[in-house]
Amino acid sequence: MKILIVEDEMIYRRMVKKSLLEAGYEIVEAEDGQAAWELFQQEPFHLVVTDWMMPGLDGPQLVQKIRTSGQKSYTYIIMLTAMDDTDNIVLGLESGADEYLTKPFNSRELVARVASGMRILRLEEQLMQARQQMEDLALHDGLTGLLNRRAIEDFAEAEFSMARRKERAMSVILLDIDRFKNVNDRFGHKLGDEVLRQAAKILKEDLRNYDRVGRWGGEEFLLILPDTLLKDAVTVAERVRVRTASTQISLENGESFSVQISLGAACTTGQFSSLTKLIDAADQALYRAKQSGRNRVCIFEPSN
């Protein structure tokens, strides 16, 4: 992790540089606030040691620019100041600095402050990672890694509104693994889970990058195809059906088998007043696919 040193007085710049280099840090130097700001925009440094008094952009102004730059990760800022009265120290911290050192400073103290800044940065990074993982968990189905029901529904709702506003077509496909209960009964739940994972993999591979697929429930999946007419949705559905049926799932004993799926498609061109009605239509089409022999694609056809 590189450290940016900002100091207009050469003697102090050299002192800071020497101390941090000896402590094993990589450093970059800037002679004043403006030069530092330009460097920062090219490469957001995680740790900055900056002087307060500098011609042009001074320390507090630089800190403020960094704090309002909108960068994702945190920058830990240590301010160097010759002014050691309380008011100025408070002002420096209020401008957004994390720490201050009064000049002349002790080299070991500087290194210790930098080390504590690094600890805080590492903690912050761990927190960010944990939050990211929580967000992923909240949106994804643990078994298949696909979006969960809530997340695919949110996506579908947004696309449904968009399709209406822009008067574009959006299609949905509801699909279900045929005779999945038999798989579970015959091979056990562990293999049943493996079947669900493999099916999810096929679904993901077959999508364009603006399509989405989610696990709708048990062995049921929902595909959302923005900007897609019913006939094109049928092409997608048919491709997925054929690929699934021809994919061999290996058993631990060396045998392999495949599963088949039934699919129902519906499109917003059918004038549905809500997303729920559109998905219901796909569900009715799926029901017909099941009733008429499974392993096939049916489209929603209004009954009257």
- The CA distance from 253 to 250, in Å, is 8
Identify whether 219 is a catalytic site residue: yes
Return the number of the residue (80 or 170) whose C-beta is nearest Mg ion: 80
Closest contact distance (angstroms) between CB of 53 and Mg ion is: 4
Three-state DSSP at 165 gives: helix
Token code pair at residue 117: 């800044």
Answer yes or no: are the C-beta atoms of 68 and 44 closer than 8 Å: no
Closest contact distance (angstroms) between CB of 8 and Mg ion is: 4
Return the number of the residue (8 or 232) whose C-beta is nearest Mg ion: 8
Binding-residue total with Mg ion (CB under 5 A): 4
Amino acid (one-letter) located at 129: Q
Closest contact distance (angstroms) between CB of 9 and Mg ion is: 5
13, 15, 51, 173: residue in contact with Mg ion (rule CB under 5 A): 51
Closest CA relative to residue 258, chosen from 146, 150, 180: 180
Question: Is 221 exposed, middle or buried (CB count within 10 Å of its CB: 0-12, 13-18, 19+)?
Answer: buried
Binding mask 8-27 for Mg ion (x = CB under 5 A): x-------------------
Closest contact distance (angstroms) between CB of 130 and Mg ion is: 39
Amino acid (one-letter) located at 170: M
Residue owning tokens 């000896």: 22
Binding mask 221-260 for Mg ion (x = CB under 5 A): ----------------------------------------
294: region left, alpha or beta (phi > 0 left; psi from -120 to 50 alpha): left
Amino acid (one-letter) located at 152: I
Side-chain-facing half-sphere of 23: CA atoms under 13 Å: 21
Return the number of the residue (84 or 135) whose C-beta is nearest Mg ion: 84
Closest contact distance (angstroms) between CB of 58 and Mg ion is: 8
Backbone angles phi and psi of 80, in degrees to 5: -100, 130
Q: Where are the alpha helices (DSSP H) in 145-229?
A: 149-165, 180-187, 189-205
23, 35, 39, 53: residue in contact with Mg ion (rule CB under 5 A): 53
Closest CA relative to residue 73, chosen from 29, 132, 141, 155: 132
Task: List the catalytic residue out of 26, 219, 252, 255.
Answer: 219
Closest contact distance (angstroms) between CB of 138 and Mg ion is: 48
Q: How many residues does the chain have?
A: 304
Q: Which stretch binds Mg ion (CB under 5 A): 47-55, 56-64, 264-272, 276-284?
A: 47-55
Return the number of the residue (78 or 213) whose C-beta is nearest Mg ion: 78
Q: What does the angle CA 20 – CA 90 – CA 4 come to, to the nearest 5 degrees?
A: 25
Return the number of the residue (32 or 176) whose C-beta is nearest Mg ion: 32
Return the number of the residue (28 or 191) whose C-beta is nearest Mg ion: 28
Active site residues: 219
Residue numbers at the binding site for Mg ion (CB under 5 A): 8, 51, 53-54
